[in-house]
Chain A
């Protein structure tokens, strides 16, 4: 056998067939890795989007917030969402002539959330809810997997001086990140 003309050995004889074989394996593993990453990435995107919706739905309830205590109570319930970090707050919506909603700026939003002034100089109540310490970890443009969702809600106000109460539209802004 060895003395036969053109015989290069058991590997050498099959060398040309190894090239398409190796190429096929490389192609398969490349596409497999791409698919795996795509599944993983999209799965995470859905998880984040659904987590933001869940936080939003918990905080807005039936789209009516009676007072600060009701908001706080819903905030405690929203802490059951563990997969993402979140920050939720209320922004006033303008419904009068000449007023304008100025949009959402992720870098400054924390300071813009609505606060009810305290009576007689007492500290006010800020409508903000988060599952992290915002002094140490707040969302920014550099944050990973950031999702922003907003929902209109009605917030009840009481005016003890005039003995009236009224309902104003507000925007519940949900920011989640990892």
Chain B
């Protein structure tokens, strides 16, 4: 009787030991499976931020030929893209004549990432609470056919006139994780009444994010509340055509 009791006690001890080890092993397993995910996300975020910063600076450093139709290599008159944009803005307070070359530069610089990211570029005049230029690059949602075939959505380049900075921030917040870079630039505004020109400070911003449906923020008709980005489609590109 005493021996049987001893055998049962050792078996119970072993089962308790197994229970404790199983619990600890399960905890260790989950810890190991999740180990480094936060760090990994931070490393990736850091890379996105580096790319956004590099892209913004490269856009602002880039040159453009002053004579339409000429290439950079053969042009006799070359200026910084930013200088051309400033000159364009100075005339009438709008970026209209240089918008095409600006869009081409932004698309070219963002193209290595554009398969996986949507992005937004804007120039914001903080003193006037107004936008000089807002461009959104976004893609439609992919469609799925009954036989499982996936058709990627078309890409849209939009020019927007947001009601306010809040409308733009609401859109950026809705996309979740994003990487952005901002820099200050000084524009020039000529006054028609023979007064000296003013030099408004503006922010140039580039924000990129993993494609997310944002249509409800883009068009006034779909807007939630009273805030809208007031976008218009500047160019629609088929999914299989990067630079059509």
Check if A109 is an interface residue, CB within 8 A of chain B: no
Decide if A152 touches B54 in the complex (CB within 8 Å): yes
Decide if B18 touches A21 in the complex (CB within 8 Å): yes
B contact set with A: CB distance below 8 Å: 3-4, 6-7, 10-11, 13-15, 17-18, 21-22, 24-25, 28-29, 31-33, 35-36, 39-40, 43, 46-47, 50-51, 53-55, 57-59, 61-63, 71-78, 80, 104-105, 107-109, 111-112, 242-243
Decide if B47 touches A100 in the complex (CB within 8 Å): no
Instruction: Identify the interface centre among B6, B39, B53, B61: most chain A CB within 10 Å of its CB.
Output: B61
Contact partner of A21 among B14, B58, B78, CB < 8 A? B14
Decide if B4 touches A6 in the complex (CB within 8 Å): yes
Known: A39-B35, A166-B63. A151 touches B18 (CB 8 A): no
- Interface residues of chain B: helix, strand, loop or mixed (majority): helix
Chain A interface size band reads 35 or more
A contact set with B: CB distance below 8 Å: 4, 6-7, 13-14, 16-21, 23-25, 27-28, 30-32, 34-35, 38-39, 42-43, 45-46, 49-50, 53, 56-57, 60, 62-64, 93-101, 103-104, 149-154, 157, 159, 162, 164-169, 171
B52 to nearest A CB, angstroms? 9
Docked complex Cα distance between A56 and B54 (Å): 11
Decide if A21 touches B108 in the complex (CB within 8 Å): no
